[in-house]
A and B are shown apart, each in its own frame.
Chain A
Amino acid sequence: MNDTTTPETQAPPVARRRAQARKKQAAANASLPMRGPTEVDVTLKINGVEQVARIEPRVSLLDALREHLLLTGTKKGCDQGTCGACTVWVDGRRVLSCLTLAMACEDHEVTTIEGLAKGGELHPMQRAFIAHDAFQCGYCTPGQIMSAVALIREGHASTDAEIAEWMSGNLCRCAAYPNIRAAIRDVRDSEAGGNDASG
């Protein structure tokens, strides 16, 4: 606003500033077009594959995955950020897909439970969940596993208390917690032995 180096130096200062402000705002507006609210093409990179979903901007990442891209491994529990069933990774960090807009994930990498297995082999955490019977109904399990792999990568799995604290965002109404912790310990200890299975 205090820029005085424009060609409009003959204009009165107030008018000049207003003209500059108008120009600045017009430029800003012009460079920031709104998309939607009707359906638009949104390009998402999911599990390494670029896909286009035609969705409204209000669509959550969770709904885009499940209803539009038919990746139904990610589960909808509470849809309000309370239960953790919808946990996925965005740029490698665990987040809640129910509170994330799909459009906000353009230019970012999304990883879902479907992206964990490699070459037909389950991820070590998936195998450990089976080996330790770490679920009953299984509904929270994809979110638990996405959180669990991230937890070890973050370095927050050193004790059972630490695991419990850093997994507290993933509720299990079947209360399989002891077995979930056992699966996490198992993977943690096998990784400590030199087998890098951090996904």
Chain B
Amino acid sequence: MRPVSYARATSVAEAIAALRAHPDAAFLAGGTTEIDLLRLDVVRPNALVDINALPLSRIEDLADGGLRIGALARMSDVAEAPAVVERFPMLMQALLLGASAQLRNMATIGGNLLQRVRCSYFRDVASPCNKREPGTGCSALDGINRGHAVLGTSDHCIATHPSDLAVALIALDAVVRTEGPRGARAFPIDEFFLLPRDTPHLEHPTEHGELVVAVDVPAAPIARRSLYAKVRDRESYEFALASVAAAMDVQGGVIRAARVALGGVATKPWRARRAEQILVGAPAQRDTYARAAREELASARPRQLNAFKVELAQRAIVRALETLAETGGPQ
């Protein structure tokens, strides 16, 4: 690992000012991605501003019945917060199906959203990678791309977004709140993640020194009956090959409302809006789910080794919706 300087911030303003004063510094939160990538020489800050002492760990009720989750709340603490368990089971499940118990004790909500891709070429500084070194090319296009994305890809990057949490949050229309050189900003979470297009090195609309301070999850009665289903190569402690965050309101056999988002198959947490359009107003039955899944994946662009994900994602959607219809969710 390259040498780094270190400072511990005691206020948000102090942390932001420190990054403004040090153009090559980075915030340090849970460190579970950052220290790993520092050691691999993939990220190269010369100073770390430790933000763990900032008062950003609270989980608060919003007036509308939603939640404000502090950016430094740990995955493990959010997963067991009663409000999350009762009102947003898909959020709890997405958290508990991610990483390991140790990592969940360390990793923060803000850091989870900002985690970097697991593409092995991104992590290997000897390989060309447009995300790590713009303009050098994408090694994954014709390389080992079994884990890579089939939705939202470009000719410049096909790396899968690795977060489970973000998939649930995008289904819940969360809002990412930041503070930075331009003051406080709020991003609808779908806009917080950029498609790779021809600039895969740009992942978020934020700027240097801008700090994620909270994630707001608006009230969503539909989410009380929701789930997060994750398909992977081993039973635990593994990234998704395909995952689904889903919620559905069925009355009299007809789907009144639906939320569907996909993970493991796209370059950003993927809100399945096409699938939702097909579901709403249609009978709650397998044919409907299959059609919604098929149409959502119609724009998939598989590569040599990940074509199986097109079918896998569809089956995952169908199974998730069938489970919701049969049981009303996992609760």
Contact = CB atoms under 8 A, between A and B. Distances in A.
A169 B102 contact: yes
B28 A84 contact: no
B189 interface: no
Contacts of A36: 3-6
Interface centre among A33, A58, A103 (most CB of B within 10 A): A58
Contact of B14 (A32, A57, A87, A98): A32
A173 to B, nearest CB: 14
Interface in A28-47: 28-29, 31-38
Nearest to A164: B236
Contact of B50 (A31, A104, A150): A104
Contacts of B286: none
Contacts of B7: 32-35
B6 A96 contact: no
A190 interface: no
Given A79-B39, A101-B35, A166-B101, A34 B5 contact: yes
Contacts of A54: none
B17 interface: yes
A84 B35 contact: no
Interface residues of B, number: 44
Given A31-B14, A37-B46, A101-B48, A25 B20 contact: yes
A25 B17 contact: yes
Given A57-B48, A81-B36, A93 B105 contact: yes
Contacts of B106: 95-96, 99-100
Contacts of A28: 13-14, 16-18, 21
B236 A165 contact: yes
B39 A147 contact: no
Contacts of B32: 81, 96, 99
Nearest to B237: A168
B329 to A, nearest CB: 20
B301 interface: no
Contacts of A37: 3-5, 46-47
Given A31-B14, A37-B46, A84 B6 contact: no
Of the four ranges (under 10, 10 to 19, 20 to 34, 35 or more), the interface on chain A belongs to 35 or more
A116 interface: no
Contacts of A127: none
A164 B236 CA distance: 9
Nearest to A37: B3
B201 interface: no
A58 B1 contact: yes
Nearest to A63: B1
Contacts of B38: 58
Given A32-B9, A60-B35, A147 B17 contact: no
A103 B6 contact: yes
Contacts of A167: 101
Interface in B1-57: 1-10, 13-14, 16-18, 20-22, 28, 31-32, 35-36, 38-40, 46-50, 52
A80 B17 CA distance: 30
B4 A57 contact: yes
B277 interface: no
Contact of B101 (A25, A101, A151): A151
Given A28-B17, A29-B21, 8 more contacts: A34-B47, A35-B5, A38-B3, A60-B35, A99-B35, A101-B35, A147-B102, A169-B102
22 contacts: A25-B20, A29-B18, A32-B10, A33-B7, A36-B5, A36-B6, A37-B3, A57-B3, A57-B4, A58-B3, A58-B4, A60-B35, A84-B102, A99-B32, A101-B31, A104-B8, A156-B101, A164-B235, A167-B101, A168-B101, A169-B99, A169-B100
Interface of B: 1-10, 13-14, 16-18, 20-22, 28, 31-32, 35-36, 38-40, 46-50, 52, 76, 99-103, 105-106, 183, 235-237
Interface of A: 1, 24-25, 28-29, 31-38, 56-58, 60, 79-81, 84, 87, 93-96, 98-101, 103-104, 106, 147, 150-151, 154, 156, 164-170
